[in-house]
Structure 1
Amino acid sequence: MYEAHHGWLTHWLHRRLRCPQDAADLSHDTFLRLILGDQPLEALREPRAYLLVIASRLLINRHHRKQVEEEALRQVATLLETQDNRGPAEIAAARDLLVSVLKLLVDELPEKPRRAFLMARLEGLSYRQIGRRLSVSESSVKQYLARALAHCHARLYDSLDTPCRT
């Protein structure tokens, strides 16, 4: 299936992304999802349609991830502009921490806890406002935020405890 459809899918992605490297990466990610998925490959009647569904979902996830990263970077830039006394080392450390937190949020947390955390931290919404947007109770919002914070704390703490490999 890879040999029969890889070139076609990469070309389709290249037209949308306008970047051959990103298209190649996303094409490989699509086939990886196909292989790791529950759908038996022999049962696929329309493999290209199925590949398009997977690739489209990956494109949407990529777009959402970029939006989150851009908003977080805007927030950090605003914060740094108000604190002129920060040195280059502090700015670099803040940027590295931000990248780590974004990776944890986007790659590892379920959708609702991730969205609740971003609405609270980036948009400054109240529990009630977040609950309305997510169609959940304020109690659920509190649980989502606690889960997101605990997850980020645990993962960041674990990464700090890991000895460097040489």
Structure 2
Amino acid sequence: MHHGVQQQLHHLYSHHHGWLNAWLRKKLSCQHTAADLAQDTFLRVIISDRRPLPEQARAYLTQIAKGLMIDLYRRQRLELAYHEWLLHLSPVEVPSPEQQAVALQSLIQLDKVLDQLPAKVRETFILSRFEQLTYSQIAKRQGISVGAVRKYMLKATQACLEML
């Protein structure tokens, strides 16, 4: 990182970190989570190798922070759903804490992969894998051909395999 970029980042951080942290605290009602997301926002700026113009700095930081908040809420919803599912298991079926951590991390990764797929592909995959509908049932429900269902399933499966 050359000196000019370091100066830009230092200026961005020193002039906007306090504001961003306060904005996130108001949105999240938790100073620790706000501090973490503020740091993650600036980390994303560094990694992205993009620098906003000074007059666009707050809008740029807000956009990144909102994306991180959405990721946080999605993760929390997934964790809650997973823990609720665990409550329905008998004591002998409950996985070990290590297995739970691995399963939850896998669910979070799968959620990210599915979120990047086109809506029809994602919905087709969910109907097949989680609602156990047949390809012809999915085709009828989606108003598409069985061939399209096969194509969408292949695309979704390939995306999941790439995740692994």
Q: TM over 0.5: same fold? A: yes
Matched, 1:11 2:22: yes
Tell me the secondary structure at the aligned position of residue 15 of structure 1: helix
What does residue 109 of structure 2 align with? 104
Equivalent of residue 142 in structure 1, options 153, 157, 161:
153
What is the Cα deviation at residue 146 of structure 1?
2.0
- The number of residues matched between the two structures is 142
For the residue of structure 1 that corresponds to 2:55, the secondary structure is coil
Q: In the alignment, does 2:97 pair up with 1:92?
A: yes
1:4-83 → structure 2 map (5 Å cutoff): 4-41=15-52, 43-78=53-88, 80=89
Cα deviation code 1:2-44 (max 9, x no counterpart): 0110011001001111111110110011111122225334x34
Q: TM-score, normalised by structure 1?
A: 0.65
Question: How far apart, in 2, do the equivalents of 1:75 and 1:115 lie?
Answer: 22
Moved over 4 A (4+): 106-110, 113-122
Tell whether the 8 Å contact from 2:24 to 2:38 is kept in structure 1 after alignment. yes
- RMSD, matched Cα: 3.3
Structure 1 counterpart of 2:38, one-letter code: S
Task: Output the CA distance in 1 between the equivalents of 2:116 and 2:74.
Answer: 11
The Cα offsets for residues 121-149 of structure 1, whole Å up to 9 and x where unpaired, read as 55x263527x84xxxx4124312442355
Could you state the TM-score of these two structures normalised by the residue count of structure 2?
0.66
Query: Quick one: distance in 2 between partners of 1:47 and 1:149?
Result: 36
Q: Percent identity?
A: 29
Alignment of 1:98-137 (within 5 A): 98-106=103-111, 111-112=116-117, 115=122, 120-122=128-130, 124=131, 126=133, 128=138, 132=142, 137=148
The answer to whether the Cα contact below 8 Å between 2:38 and 2:65 also exists between their aligned partners in 1 is: yes
